[in-house]
Amino acid sequence: MGYRVNPGAWGYAFAVPSLVVDNHIKMAGAIQLKVLLWLLRHSYEEPDIGVISSAIGKAPEDVADALQFWVECGILLKEGEVPVPLNSMAEKADTKPVPELKVLAPIPPTRPTSEQIKARCSESEDIRFLFNEAQAKLGKTIGYDGQSTLLMMHDEYGLPVEVILMIIEYCVSVGKTSFGYISGIGRDWGEREIDTLEKADEQIEALNACNTLWAKLAQAIGSKNPRPTTKQSAYINRWSKDWGFSFEMIYLAYEEMADHTQSLQFGYMDRILKNWHEAGLKTPEDVEKFKRERLSKQQSKSESTKRRKISSNPASYDLDEFKRRSLHEPLVYEKGKK
């Protein structure tokens, strides 16, 4: 069965950048898309996180994360930033094969009914335990929205009860307890099959290390964001865990980026660090030595090019002979005839 837009729906319309669909539709979540659509629809208004939060029914901190996501993608600009051609910001594809991951959809709008949730509670001791422990860890009673989200994380994402509770503990520790944020982590873990206590422990350790590194970087660059976004966390984990870079090297990459652009662009830093990783550079001293050697090679190449040009275009006169004659042969003046 085919689908098409109802012609009757075309009234007032607004544009959506093609790059949103072409480059980011797979990575963008429901909240990110809702926030962007609201901004595009109200492009003539001054954006306000509280207004957007109320309009889309999501927590203000989730809205702030979504805005930062689109800033990093280059779709949005912060006040005072100069527009940059997006083709210059495009990230080079990694040539290394990437393991295929299953892609899970966000928690769908069609949720189990209250009666269905009650039925699951009555038949499953694990689900009752999940709801009770979640309330204790969050310090509040969870209503229908929370119960349906946790139930679907268990049923749709295939996460065991103990893993879901570890996610909640982590979210409480970083002060982000909205069910949108909790389900976002659940979706990520479900896609990467983090479905045992051992895998969850390892992932939370990585998240905590990422948050610590971010706090240090944020203080150094003057960022007021208390935590990295999901996309920023992925970058930081790659730099520190996969490539083994220290904070000093990551900050050095930030300085390199700041010399060429006015906004914080993790994609730009990632390209710098990728080049250093492939070149085997591990310390700031390695980078400095690499730059000196590259500059020396460039200068040698330039001098060699100049010499080739001179040798291929010899002068039409002998400069040495001219100097010799000017020093040793006297000038003779002849008196003109009257």
Residue 288, in any domain of the structure: no
In a domain, 315, yes or no: no
Express as a percent the part of the chain with pLDDT over 90: 36
One domain for residues 166 and 121? yes
Assign residue 77 the CATH number of its domain: 1.10.10
Task: List the single range of 85-89, 155-159, 288-292 with lowest mean pLDDT.
Answer: 85-89
Percent of the chain whose predicted confidence (pLDDT) is above 70: 80
Residues 6+ apart with CB under 8 A from 250: 213, 217, 236, 239, 240, 269, 273
Helix 230-237 vs helix 197-221: crossing angle, to nearest 10: 100
pLDDT at residue 330, rounded to an integer: 55
**Average pLDDT in the chain:** 81
Rounded average pLDDT over 72-85:
72
Say which residue the tokens 């590194």 belong to. Answer: 213
With a cut of 80, say whether residue 105 has pLDDT above it: no
Same structural domain, 24 and 76: yes
Domain that holds residue 144: 114-195
Rounded-to-integer distance, Cα 328 and Cα 321, Å? 11
The pLDDT of residue 92: 41
Burial 266-283 (b: 16+ CB within 10 A, else e): bbbbbbbbbebbeeebee
CA distance 233 to 56: 25
Domain boundary among 153, 174, 195: 195
- 241 assigned to some structural domain: no
- Among 302, 294, 235, which residue's Cα sits nearest to residue 69? 235
- At 223, is the pLDDT very low, low, confident or very high (cuts 50, 70, 90)? confident
Residue 336 has pLDDT above 70, yes or no: no
Instruction: Point out the domain boundary residue: 173, 195, 217.
Output: 195
| 83 shares its domain with 30 | yes
Predicted pLDDT at 156:
87
Is residue 231 a part of any domain in this protein? no
Split into its structural domains, the chain has a count of 2
Does some domain include residue 46?
A: yes
CA 75 vs CA 78, 90, 109: distances in Å = 10, 12, 27
> Which pLDDT belongs to residue 72?
75
- Are 119 and 191 members of one domain? yes
Domain membership flag for residue 4: no
Structure tokens at 159: 């996460």
Q: What is the DSSP code string of 70-137? A: HHHHTSS--TTPPP--GGGTPPPPP-S-------PPPPPS----HHHHHHHHHH-HHHHHHHHHHHHH
**Domain end point (choices 176, 195, 214):** 195
Task: Provide the pLDDT for residue 163.
Answer: 96
184 and 142 together in one domain: yes
Binning pLDDT at 50, 70 and 90, where does residue 174 land? confident
In a domain, 134, yes or no: yes
CB hemisphere CA count around 53 (13 angstroms): 12
What does the pLDDT look like over 250-265, one tens digit per residue? 999 999 988 887 778 8
- 240 is a domain residue: no
Quick one: pLDDT at residue 80? 63
With beta carbons less than 8 A apart as the criterion, state whether 210 and 228 touch. Answer: yes
Q: Dihedral, CA atoms, 10, 12, 18, 21, nearest 10 degrees? A: -60
- pLDDT of 170 strictly over 90: yes
Give me the DSSP letters along 34-84. Answer: HHHHHHHHTTTS---HHHHHHHHT--HHHHHHHHHHHHHHTSS--TTPPP-
